[in-house]
Structures are given as C-alpha cells and as structure tokens.
Amino acid sequence: MSTVKENDVVKVHYTGKLTNGQVFDSSLEREPLKVELGKGQLIPGFERGLIDMAVNEKKTITIPQKDAYGEVNDKLFHKVSKSQLPEDMNPEVGMGLVGTDAQGDQQQFRIVQIEDQNIIVDGNHPLAGQDLVFDLEVVEIV
C-alpha cells in the first residue's frame, strides 16, 4: 500500500481546532485541500503529520505553536493614530486592516484595542501562540 512521502502531491480533508475543541477551519464541506509537500505551502506540523499516511487513513494530530504559526511576537503590535484611518471608518476590536510598508508590501492586521486617539493593531497570524489540533484524512496521493 502506498503512503505519503516528502514531495508527494496529496489531497487531504482536514478539520482544524483549537485545543478547547473550537473549530477554526474545515475542508469537509468543500473540495479536499490539494497540496505539494515540501514547498512550504503548509505549516510544518501539518505537513509532517501527513507523512506515512495511506489513502483513506484518518488520524488526529496536535501541532505545538512552534510548528504552527509560532509564538505571539510583541514587536508586531503597533499603535496607530486614528487620524491615519479613513474618515468614514468606525474601528472596532477584531476588525481586520491592511497596511502597506515603505516598500509597498501589504500586511494584515487586527484591531485589538481602541483608545481615545489611537488604535492598537496586531500583525501576528490570528492563530499565533496556539497549539492546534487537526483531524486528517488522506483522500488521494496524486
């Protein structure tokens, strides 16, 4: 029986959960994820979890934060003056924003705090600092 190896192209169904059981993403209601291993398309722990799985095999893996989206980086929190926001914007905690740096590169931010004259934004991935649990099922080795 063939099993998943490094650099294989695989189709996989998954359900991603926090350690408290809260589901944050799932492919079960859509097409399975098709990915080529070894190309950096997946978080490291997810990719390692697929190695040696057979078609139709199911398993649950726990990925520590260092092999997922990393620890929360305090340097990615920034204070932004409300005067820099569009006039018609009503900032709310949890709202997503896109910022552009001097080189023209865009970065996603989330508003985490609102002050009188400023907002505090977080540039970390929303799942940074979290251990993640994935239910995996290899659907096909392409």
**Interval 2-46: pLDDT, tens:** 999 999 999 999 999 999 999 999 999 999 999 999 999 999 999
Q: Which domains does the chain have, with CATH numbers?
A: 9-70+127-141 (3.10.50.40), 74-122 (2.40.10.330)
Report yes or no: 108 and 96 within 8 Å, Cβ to Cβ: yes
pTM, rounded to two decimals: 0.82
Report yes or no: 64 and 127 within 8 Å, Cβ to Cβ: no
Report yes or no: 42 and 100 within 8 Å, Cβ to Cβ: no
- Give the burial class of 141: count Cβ atoms within 10 A of its Cβ; 0-12 exposed, 13-18 middle, 19 or more buried: middle
